[in-house]
């Protein structure tokens, strides 16, 4: 049984904001960390400016409604990530450290060239529920190491 928020708690204070996805996305767009949000079916519904900049994606509309994390080559080809995705999309909040392939968006025709040569990232999966229903999975990417133009950034 879900416990109701007490009126003087932080979750209670933010509840009106969190119930408005557009307002949350406006807030996330200002974050300096790359953030992407996915619908329960794995389709990308939000990518903030830091995410678009990291992957050199000129326009969010190239990804939104098109990129499916389950169909992504990385999601299909990495057994550990597939397991993490299954857990996250079943409502578990968790962190996964991995080397994202720089060429997935090139293969999908979203960008023309790889934005970086190699990277190591922590990805924080945060499921968002409305009651017992999963409505979003927010992914916050923390770049640990990024290699570009032959050097470490």
In a domain, 145, yes or no: yes
Whole-structure pTM value? 0.79
In a domain, 48, yes or no: yes
In a domain, 38, yes or no: yes
Domain coverage including residue 59: 10-152
Give SS3 for 23. Answer: helix
In a domain, 88, yes or no: yes
Question: pLDDT by residue for the chain (153 residues), tens digit each?
Answer: 444 444 444 445 555 655 677 777 888 898 899 999 999 999 999 999 999 998 888 989 988 998 888 887 555 667 888 888 889 999 999 999 988 766 777 777 777 888 878 788 888 999 888 878 888 899 999 988 888 777 675
Q: What is the pLDDT of residue 16?
A: 61
Give SS3 for 99. Answer: coil
In a domain, 2, yes or no: no
The CATH code of the domain that includes 26 is 3.30.450.20
Q: What is the pLDDT of residue 6?
A: 47
Interacting residues of 31 by C-beta distance below 8 A, sequence separation 6+? 48, 50
Strand stretches in the chain, DSSP E? 35-38, 44-47, 94-98, 118-130, 133-148, 151-152
- Number of structural domains, the chain? 1
∠ CA 35-36-41, rounded to 5°: 155
Please check whether residue 31 is in contact with residue 50, taking contact to mean a CB–CB distance below 8 angstroms. yes
Burial 33-67 (b: 16+ CB within 10 A, else e): ebbbbbbeebbbbbbbebbbebbebeebebbeeeb
Q: How far is CA 63 from CA 19, 100, 102, 139, in A?
A: 24, 17, 15, 15
In a domain, 43, yes or no: yes
Angstrom distance (rounded) from CA 119 to CA 50: 15
Q: What is the pLDDT of residue 3?
A: 43
């Amino acid at each position: 049984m879900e416990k109701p928020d007490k009126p003087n708690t932080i979750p209670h204070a933010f509840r009106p904001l969190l119930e408005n996805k557009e307002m949350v996305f406006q807030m996330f767009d200002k974050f300096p960390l790359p953030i992407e949000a996915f619908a329960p079916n794995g389709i990308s519904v939000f990518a903030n400016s830091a995410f678009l900049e990291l992957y050199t994606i000129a326009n969010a509309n190239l990804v939104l409604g098109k990129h499916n994390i389950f169909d992504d080559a990385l999601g299909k080809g990495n057994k550990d990530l597939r397991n993490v995705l299954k857990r996250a999309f079943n409502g578990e909040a968790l962190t996964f450290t991995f080397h994202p392939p720089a060429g997935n968006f090139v293969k999908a025709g979203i960008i023309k060239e790889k934005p970086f040569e190699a990277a190591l990232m922590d990805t924080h999966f945060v499921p968002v529920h409305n009651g017992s229903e999963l409505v979003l999975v927010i992914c916050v990417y923390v770049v640990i190491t990024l290699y570009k133009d032959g050097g470490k950034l």
